[in-house]
Amino acid sequence: MSIRQSPLPYELNALEPHISAQTMSYHYGRHHSGYVKKLNKLIEGTRFADMDLETIIAAARIDANVPVLNNALQTWNHAFLWESMSPSGEKKPEGRILERIEEDFGGLEAFRDEFRKKALGHFGSGWVWLVDDGFKLKITTTADAESPVATAITPLLVLDVWEHAYYLDYRNERERYVDRFLFNLINWKFAAANLVTSERTMAA
């Protein structure tokens, strides 16, 4: 069994003017695709070959198989990233996820301020996550390929802060890129659905 690259849930130009079709072509068509291809080469003929992606991640963590783990994580992270953004990004969340943001951050503006602070304060490559740790919603960062997937923490949405995600459009102005995400691109419906799953799992 080989791992397939998840289909992009919108056209390459759908996130314009915030993220260009050129950036998406490189990011999805080369970077994400490259991780999937490398992962399939690494797992061919190994015990990982018959596993699904999240099982590969969990097993590679146990085995400390860094090449498999990094490429599996980047395959998963990018698939999650595409779903975290929407061409019709909602300006604000609604319902339960808004309630939790108000409870745990003190309001939407406070959430945006903390997300921006974490994104701009993260040195080098990595990811900025909104997660549910079972008690509170939190914003956390991970370096390079690392991810909360297949851990006790549930990711709700993510932003890629590797330079390849924004350099063609924003050069070194990460703050402009982060703000476009926060105000124009977040798929709050996706985050809300992940929160429902997380709360049901915690209550079980």
pLDDT tens digits, one per residue of 33-68: 999 999 999 999 999 999 999 999 999 999 999 999
Write the pLDDT tens digit of every residue in 166-201: 999 999 999 999 999 999 999 999 999 999 999 988
pLDDT digits (tens, 9 = 90+) for 82-135: 999 999 887 899 999 999 999 999 999 999 999 999 999 999 999 999 999 999
Domains, in order of start, for the chain: 21-84 (1.10.287.990), 95-203 (3.55.40.20)
pTM score, two decimals?
A: 0.96
Residue 200's Cβ-count burial label (10 Å; 0-12, 13-18, 19+) is exposed
Contacts of 91 (CB under 8 A, 6+ apart): 183
